Structure 1
Amino acid sequence: MTHPFPVLFIHGLWLHSTSWQPWIDLFRKEGYAPSAPGWPGDPDTVEEARQNPESIADRGIDDVVDHYAAIIRGMEAPPILVGHSFGGMIAQKLLGQNLAAAAVAIDAAQIKGVLPLPLSALRSTLPVFRNPANKHRAVSLTAEQFRFAFGNALTEKESDALYEQWTIPAPGKPLFEAAAANFNPSSPAKVDTANSGRGPLLLMSGGQDHTVPETVTRATVKQYRHSEAVTEFLAFPDRGHSLTIDSGWREVADEALAWLRRQHLEARR
């Protein structure tokens, strides 16, 4: 008897987990068993998250990893992980811990070992870093800040519509932890990149991404050079950080599905 292969979607900063709904519908249609639980403390809806930012505040990388690890341990089989931005970093950490069958990390936040970020990435995160107290707070983006960080490859109209539909406050702590990663030997942003027994990993990048520029993703790929496990890279030259939620999301999702099939991770196991 075959069973649908579980897929766990992990969102990043400033987006609610429900932003994965089109992906969930597609993956379910393709025969997988998808779900998108939020980060610890995330309310069920965008509106609740905006009204209650303190529920999200002061959650660090390890808190999020432990939260998803507990979810995975309650599943019948290790899932495929699909993560965006910080969700892509979380997916890599869980894959390195052998808790997942495979991972697709889309515009993943920089892991320990990746060199300092380009200026556009620093500008994207300035709303958090301008105040050290934001490490323990949840911070919201303005529509203009969202356009630079996420929607720079879109029309202003589409970017503003996505902002209204999906954005929520985000904890500042993961950004502070990632920024200090290369100075902290035990940084929570450290990933077991040398694990040769893990499942396959696909790193995707938007070539116009301001928040996680393609140079960061390419540098992340190099961190895996000592692993014999499958590590592949795919770029979308004309896409920004919004590539999982904007009008071109289907192209990204279809590439992820095609890659999973090439890894023999068909919808049913």
Structure 2
Amino acid sequence: MKVSENKNVVFITGAFVTHHCWDEWQTYFQSKDYNTVAPPWPYKDAETAEELRNRQPNDTDLARLTIDEVIDSYIKVVQSFPEKPIVIGHSFGGLVTQIIVNHDLAAAGVAIHPAPPQGILPYEFSFLKAGWKAFGLLTSTDETYLMSFEDWQYAFANEMSLEEQKASYEKFAIPESKTVVRGGLTHSASIDFKKPHPPLLITSGSLDNLIPAHLNKRNFEHYKESGSVLDYKEFEGRNHFVLGLPTWKEDADYILDWLSKH
């Protein structure tokens, strides 16, 4: 089956946010005749972000969650379809998307501002400033990490109005497993850049502090020529809250158009 004929989409959520960040995307893709699912990470199946925040910091099940468990949970979803679905992930979910594509488990993949796989050293200053606290160095991994509103302003919502920043934080920000974040630096987050793969699109945003465009471009450039479809697109004016910006539909349309061509 050609990608353009595939109507099943799995949306993969990133770290620090609830899976409801995909709600509008799901509705929009469904209006284009796609069948979509956006399952939460294990232990993040609460209806609201507030409910998950109220468990902070003593949600030991979430705190002990590993990157392998996150990846495996999405592989099970992908493999539940009768045919390989399209996989679209954001941030850490973009990393998971690259892993699933690398394992040839998807018809195609779209990694939106993805966290980098192992082997791509994220030395960009804004990444270090925005993300270092999430590793929780010298702190207990039995406790979850919740990004402060001040950190959210820099990592996710820079260049947005204060009102928009507050609203986005209240609606989407949730505690995270430091174990998962640290796992992004391990072999569990590795891929074979030389291996042929299904069509893959990597996107970035010019305003993203957490996963800056330069980091995404280096990720893209690590792939070796293998005859596989591989594309890169940097969008102007997008921060890490790209899924919820007023421009989100423009990004979705670009992705839909890209899928229709393969």
1:161 aligns with 2:167: yes
Matches of 2:142 and 2:229, distance apart in 1: 37
1:52 aligns with 2:52: no
SS of residue in 2 equivalent to 1:139: coil
1:200 aligns with 2:199: yes
8 Å Cα contact 2:88-2:97 kept in structure 1:
yes
Q: Which residue, out of 110, 120, 127, partners 1:121?
A: 127
SS of residue in 2 equivalent to 1:235: strand
Deviation at 1:130, TM superposition (A): 4.9
Match runs of 1:84-233 below 5 Å = 84-178=90-184, 180-181=185-186, 187-196=187-196, 198-233=197-232
Matches of 1:155 and 1:10, distance apart in 2: 27
Task: Return 5+ residue gaps in structure 2 as ranges.
Answer: none
Q: Which residue, out of 62, 65, 72, partners 1:66?
A: 72
SS of residue in 1 equivalent to 2:87: strand
Matches of 1:136 and 1:211, distance apart in 2: 24
Q: Which moved more, 1:234-243 or 1:55-64?
A: 55-64
Deviation at 1:172, TM superposition (A): 1.3
Which residue in the other structure is 1:245 paired with? Answer: 244
Q: Which moved more, 1:106-115 or 1:30-39?
A: 106-115
8 Å Cα contact 1:4-1:33 kept in structure 2:
no
CA RMSD of aligned residues (A): 1.7
Matches of 1:153 and 1:227, distance apart in 2: 39
Matches of 2:107 and 2:141, distance apart in 1: 33
Q: Compared with structure 1, are the counterparts of its residues 177 and 4 closer, same or farther at alpha carbon in structure 2 (3 Å cutoff)?
A: closer
Deviation at 1:4, TM superposition (A): 6.6
8 Å Cα contact 1:162-1:246 kept in structure 2:
no
Q: Which moved more, 1:38-47 or 1:105-114?
A: 38-47
8 Å Cα contact 2:11-2:87 kept in structure 1:
yes
8 Å Cα contact 1:204-1:234 kept in structure 2:
yes
Matches of 1:192 and 1:245, distance apart in 2: 31
Deviation at 1:123, TM superposition (A): 1.1
How far does the alpha carbon of each residue in 1:166-201 deviate from its partner, in whole angstroms, 9 at most, with x for none? 1111111232223x44xxxxx1110132221x2100
How many residue pairs were aligned? 254
Matches of 1:136 and 1:257, distance apart in 2: 41
Q: Which moved more, 1:233-242 or 1:50-59?
A: 50-59
8 Å Cα contact 1:128-1:172 kept in structure 2:
yes
Deviation at 1:25, TM superposition (A): 0.1
How far does the alpha carbon of each residue in 1:20-42 deviate from its partner, in whole angstroms, 9 at most, with x for none? 00000000000100110011121
Deviation at 1:154, TM superposition (A): 1.5
% identical aligned pairs: 30
Matches of 1:215 and 1:172, distance apart in 2: 25
8 Å Cα contact 2:6-2:86 kept in structure 1:
no
Deviation at 1:134, TM superposition (A): 4.9
- What is the TM-score of this pair, normalised by structure 2? 0.91
8 Å Cα contact 1:135-1:176 kept in structure 2:
no
Which residue in the other structure is 1:235 paired with? Answer: 234
Which residue in the other structure is 1:34 paired with? Answer: 36
Matches of 1:214 and 1:95, distance apart in 2: 21
Q: Which moved more, 1:52-61 or 1:70-79?
A: 52-61
8 Å Cα contact 1:153-1:239 kept in structure 2:
no
| Letter of the structure 2 residue corresponding to residue 223 of structure 1 | H
- What is the TM-score of this pair, normalised by structure 1? 0.89
How far does the alpha carbon of each residue in 1:130-189 deviate from its partner, in whole angstroms, 9 at most, with x for none? 5333544321112111010001132222121111111111111232223x44xxxxx111
